[in-house]
A and B are shown apart, each in its own frame.
Chain A
Amino acid sequence: MKLSRSLLPLAGLSALLAASCGTAGDVPPPPAPKPASPIAAALFGSGSKDEGERLFGQECAFCHVGKSTGAMMLGRRLGKDKAELIHRTDLDADYVKAVVRNGLMNMPAFSRVEVTDAELDKIAAYLARKKS
């Protein structure tokens, strides 16, 4: 079986970035939930029935849940309400996939060995679940 291509051209990534990184509108964002402890962050998604959540917990949570480098840098760039990916309502699955495969700023790219295309589909669907 050959893995399908899920890499997006960088031009596409830029467009998606612009679409997904806009600031919030006039409605004030709800207060950010209390960040998870380091142990809770390391165990995020453990035992979840949602495979996307479990895979997110396994591959991404250590940089994106609780007090973490990804959450910190996203908070600085986009505002605290957008710091933790699990609370985002503006993430598009294709955008998530493009960032994972290409990397973004200091987030390294993930290879198709580390996270297969099938696994990435599930992680992206999980992160995009709240998109209105």
Chain B
Amino acid sequence: MASLLPKGVGSTGFQKALAGFRAAIGNQWVLDSEEDRASYIDPYAMGDGLDHDCSAIVAPASVEEVQAIVRVANEIKVALWPVGRGKNLGYGAASPAEKGDVILDLSRMNRVLEVNDKQAYCLLEPGVGYFDLFRHLKENNHPLWMSVPGNSWGSVIGNALDRGIGYTPYGDHCEQICGMEVVLPDGSVVRTGMGAMQGSAGWQAYKYGYGPGWDQMFMQSNLGVVTKAGVWLQPEPEMTAKIELALPNFDDAAWAIDILCDLRRRDVIQHNIVFGSPVRAASTMSQRADWYDGPGALPDSVSETMMKKLGLGWWNAKISLFGHEGTVTAQVDLIRKLFEPKLGRPLEFELWKKGDPEEKSAQGVPTTMGLQCVNWYGGRGGHLSFAPVLPQDGTLAFNYAKKIKAYYEEIGQDYYASFTIGRRHINNVSLILYNRDEPEMVARADKLYRHLLAEAASQGFAEYRGHISYMDAVAETYSFGGGALRRLNDKVKAALDPNNIIAPGRNGIGTRR
């Protein structure tokens, strides 16, 4: 692993930048050795990961230190790649899109600044992870619940900024952000929403402020460094009910999507609903070799064996209900009435009431168990997700999924899919598992991803989030007006960040070719 320079910066300039960073935040927190850089390589990289290697890491502890770093970066024109905790696994983790950027690791800024029980919000720094917040809430007996993503290792703010999701109410994480503090590319600080008022008493109470609401501008973008954000939390409900729903057949997806989407639109089900294929469930409790060691895609007959042995359906969904007792029991009755005739058996919900053991509740508990799936093929595994946005139409979504399944089989990749049902959309997630040290498998993963991107775009569906290796490719599918949105993004980027020092190329914005 040779030393590396940031793009467009010579050795002298880089040394000057490092000296500036060290003066600003101390020697200890500016890392440029090979060993330190290696610890930031994406653990799920497609190959050795050196194509997204960084030149150094800087780790500030305060907003003032972030400002000082940004000023040095501007002076020398060194690009920074900000990360909350660097755990965006499956999307590149801490690695920059552009090789040679300096990683701005915010994980030392890890204070829970405020938790308000009555108004159900917290104010966080970007280094606070889901486990940190969970521990903080429990240790201090706050009657507040949090939504957690499938991989909960990462930053609460970072996940929200990348529009990650969870599977309990408040699971649209970007929508829970209320008020940000941001260091702009020129080193100045702005507070959004009501925080724009000096001494504001309502920063976490109302999102929009006066005039344009800028919070979305700092999501999936590179227009500033978020150093604080308010996050709304769920007041602990009186009762919950939960059930794991197993749909026995592949084509059950069509009718189930229509029923579940209707329940979601009406807020009977208040959370993002996920239902996934057999490999999705099996890969969290076993490895492929336990079931099949042959070439090509896992045959359906093997999936059926897995389903039988593990008690799975073809599609497996977790449904939870939250609220007052009367509401929850009425919702349970409604769901039973809708599903029992279709499934031909009674549904047994697990109920929790305030005071019962917490394990019985449907609250979000952070976990990394979902990461187990990367061990499916053996070796050093990784995963890549393609998740286009589809409208809420069961037949349309099922026909799309059927076509994708056929392509997985044609290319020899085990079919791993899930549908995530949001308020008005569905993400059909195609997860691509691979062993990063097998070049043929990595090449297959890349080919599959690019095929999925093109196939989805041909049907009018686009990806909602981007892996660092595909950020431009995804941006190109947003093609209306000859790429009008991308031109607007680039124009705003050039105005706010003329030296292009904040994450060039993130989400296809300010890409340097």
Please give, as numbers and ranges, the residues of chain B lying within 8 Å of A39 by CB-CB distance.
138, 358-359, 365
Within 8 A of B (CB), among A86-119: 101, 103, 105-106, 108-114
Q: For the complex, is A38 an interface residue (Cβ under 8 Å from B)? A: yes
Q: Which residues of A contact B368 (CB under 8 A)?
A: 62-63, 68-69
Instruction: Point out the residues of chain B lying under 8 angstroms from A5, CB to CB.
Output: 35
Q: Which A16-60 residues have C-beta < 8 A from chain B?
A: 37-39, 42-43, 46-47, 58
Pick the contact of B139 from A47, A67, A68 — CB < 8 Å? A47
Given the contacts A109-B38, A111-B39, A38 and B31 also touching, CB distance less than 8 Å? no
CB closest residue in chain A, given B152: A62
Which residues of chain B have C-beta atoms less than 8 A from A46's C-beta? 135, 138-139
Nearest-CB residue, chain A, relative to B37: A111
Q: Are B366's CB and A108's CB within 8 A?
A: no
- Asked if A106 meets B375 with Cβ closer than 8 Å, knowing A42-B134, A43-B138, A113-B107, the reply is yes
Quick check: A111 and B135 within 8 Å, CB to CB? no
What is the CA–CA distance of A101 and B39 in the complex, to the nearest angstrom?
Answer: 7
- Residues in B neighbouring A67, C-beta threshold 8 A: 369
CA distance A28 to B26 in the complex (A): 52
Given contacts A37-B359, A42-B134, A114-B107, contact A106 B380 (CB under 8 A): yes
Give the CA-CA distance A131 to B57 in the complex, in Å: 36
B253 within 8 A of A: no
With A113-B59, A113-B108 known as contacts, the answer to whether A42 contacts B29 (CB < 8 A) is no
Report how far A113 CA is from B371 CA in the complex, Å: 22
A11 within 8 A of B: no
B383 to chain A, nearest CB (A): 11
- Interface residue B350 (Cβ < 8 Å from any Cβ of A): no
**A67 CA / B372 CA spacing, docked (Å):** 11
How distant is the Cα of A17 from the Cα of B285 in the complex, in angstroms?
25
Bound-state Cα–Cα, A45 to B33, Å:
33
Q: Does B92 contact A (CB under 8 A)?
A: no
Contact between B131 and A69 (Cβ–Cβ < 8 Å)?
A: no
Q: Which residues of B contact A15 (CB under 8 A)?
A: none
> By DSSP majority rule, is chain A's interface helix, strand, loop, or mixed?
loop
B48 to chain A, nearest CB (A): 13
B153 adjacent to chain A (CB < 8 Å)? yes
Q: Give Cα distance in the complex from A47 to B141, angstroms.
A: 13
What A residues does B381 contact at CB under 8 A? Answer: 106
Q: Give bound CA distance, A42 to B369, whole Å.
A: 12
What mask results when residues 43 to 58 of chain B are scored 1 for a CB within 8 Å of chain A, else 0?
1000000000000010
Contacts of B369 in A (CB 8 A): 67-69
Nearest Cβ on chain B to A7's Cβ, whole angstroms: 5
A3, B57: Cα distance in complex, Å: 14
Interface positions of B from 347 to 405, Cβ below 8 Å from A: 358-359, 365-369, 371-372, 374-375, 379-381
A73 interface residue per 8 A CB criterion = yes
**In whole angstroms, how far apart are the Cα atoms of A3 and B369 in the complex?**
32
**Across-interface contacts of B135 in A (CB, < 8 A):** 42-43, 46, 58
If A111-B40, A113-B108 touch, whether A7 touches B35 (CB-CB below 8 Å) is yes
Q: CB distance A113 to B139 under 8 Å?
A: no
> Which residue of B139, B287, B358, B367 contacts A62 across the interface (Cβ within 8 Å)?
B367
- CB contacts (< 8 Å) of A3 on chain B: these are 28
Q: Is the CB of A58 within 8 A of B132?
A: yes
Please name the residue on chain A nearest to B290 by beta carbon: A76
Q: Report how far A82 CA is from B365 CA in the complex, Å.
A: 25
Within the assembled complex, what's the spacing in Å between the Cα atoms of A5 and B26? 17
- A123: shortest Cβ distance to chain B, in Å? 15
* Chain B nearest CB, measured from A6 CB (Å): 9
A112 touches B365 (CB 8 A): no
B36 contacts the other chain (Cβ, under 8 Å)?
Answer: yes
Report yes or no: B105 in contact with A111, Cβ–Cβ below 8 A. yes
Instruction: Determine if A2 and B371 form an interchain contact, defined as CB atoms under 8 angstroms apart.
Output: no
In this complex, which of B31, B43, B152, B367 has the most chain A Cβ atoms within 10 angstroms of its Cβ?
Answer: B367
**Chain A proximity of B155: nearest CB distance (Å):** 12
Q: Chain B 15-28, CB within 8 Å of chain A: the 1/0 string?
A: 00000000000111
Which single residue of chain A is at the shortest CB-CB distance from B153? A62
Of A2, A38, A43, A112, which is in contact with the most chain B CB atoms at under 10 Å from its CB? A112
Distance in angstroms from A1 CB to nearest chain B CB is 6
Q: A37-B359, A62-B367, A69-B369 are in contact. Are A112 and B36 (CB under 8 A)?
A: yes
| Residue of A with least CB distance to B105 | A113
Instruction: With CB as the reference atom, state the residue of chain B lying closest to A69.
Output: B372
| B131: chain A residues within 8 A (beta carbon) | 42, 58, 62
Q: Residues of A contacting B57 with CB < 8 Å?
A: 111, 113
Which of A2, A39, A113 lies at the interface centre, i.e. has the most chain B CB atoms within 10 A of its CB? A113
Check if A85 is an interface residue, CB within 8 A of chain B: no
- Nearest 7 pairs between A and B by C-beta? A108-B43, A69-B372, A111-B39, A109-B39, A113-B59, A7-B35, A38-B365
Question: What are 25 pairs between A and B in contact, CB < 8 Å?
Answer: A2-B27, A5-B35, A7-B35, A37-B359, A38-B367, A43-B138, A46-B139, A58-B131, A62-B153, A62-B366, A63-B371, A69-B371, A105-B379, A106-B43, A106-B380, A108-B43, A109-B38, A109-B39, A109-B41, A109-B43, A110-B39, A112-B36, A113-B29, A113-B107, A114-B85
Instruction: Give A contacts to B, CB under 8 Å.
Output: 1-3, 5, 7, 37-39, 42-43, 46-47, 58, 62-63, 67-69, 72-73, 76, 101, 103, 105-106, 108-114
Q: 11 extra interchain contacts, Cβ-Cβ under 8 A, other than A42-B134, A62-B152, A62-B368?
A: A1-B28, A3-B28, A58-B135, A68-B367, A68-B368, A109-B38, A109-B41, A111-B39, A111-B86, A112-B36, A114-B85
